[in-house]
Homo-oligomer: A and B are copies of this chain.
Amino acid sequence: MSNAQAVKRSASKAEGDERHEAIYRAVSDAIVEQRLKPGARLREDALADVFGISRTGIRKILQRLALEQLVTLTPRRGASVTRPTADEAKDVFDARQLIECGLMPDVARRMGEKEAAELRDMAKRERQALRNGEQSVAIRLSADFHVRIAQLSGNATLAAFVESLCSRSSLILAVYGHPGHLGCESHDHDDLIGYLEAGNGERASAFMSRHLKAIEASLSMVEEEESAPDLHQIFGG
């Protein structure tokens, strides 16, 4: 609520583009922070009311979210928060393995004191959020951490891919993760910074690989049955 109102208020002076960007982030963050859970419907009228713009702008934002696979747009049914399938989850984590690990050498090479300090600060804030029981915040900070590291590689294109993958990972954790158990172990991130700061791309890559494997292994990959059991399948139609 306060989030939406803040956006609405600041919108009066801001230009249209910034307003749209702010609304986009507000919705995106709500999804990544799992305050909007997979399957939740996102009606255009409702969003338009909340943010004080017309449906036209909302549709633009929903489309953008749909292209990032954060929301699913079913024709004539509208938008809902994407519920990733088990296959998609595997694809996403395989992709993260390939890209994030492959980026480590470049990151290690470009790592300076300033960057290391920034990452340590992010890791610290993440731990604090965890201690304070702010699960939503911690989830987002964890994703931000991975994205920031990818950005440090200097390759904006791959960083954008990682950003998309991290957002989707949050959705995957919401569906297949155990409640209360976050994906990333908190000390993992600090260890990773150490390897990167030492310029050891190889070790950082191997560590990142284990880190991602650990997250994936913590998931319980059971496809949820449909709310209304499919009688055709049961009775062998």
User: Which A residues lie at the B interface, using CB under 8 A?
Assistant: 17, 60, 63-64, 67, 75, 87-88, 91-92, 94-95, 98-99, 102-103, 155-158, 161, 165
In the bound complex, do residue A91 and residue B158 qualify as a contact, i.e. CB atoms below 8 Å apart? yes
Residues of B close to A64: CB separation below 8 A: 63, 67
Copies of the polypeptide in the assembly: 2
In the bound complex, do residue A158 and residue B94 qualify as a contact, i.e. CB atoms below 8 Å apart? yes
In the bound complex, do residue B94 and residue A155 qualify as a contact, i.e. CB atoms below 8 Å apart? yes
In the bound complex, do residue B88 and residue A157 qualify as a contact, i.e. CB atoms below 8 Å apart? yes
In the bound complex, do residue B17 and residue A91 qualify as a contact, i.e. CB atoms below 8 Å apart? no
Chosen A-B contacts, 30 in total, with CB atoms closer than 8 Å, are A17-B75, A60-B63, A63-B63, A63-B64, A64-B67, A67-B67, A87-B156, A88-B156, A88-B157, A91-B155, A91-B156, A91-B157, A91-B158, A92-B157, A94-B155, A94-B157, A94-B158, A95-B155, A95-B157, A95-B158, A95-B161, A98-B98, A98-B99, A98-B102, A98-B103, A98-B158, A99-B99, A102-B102, A157-B165, A161-B161
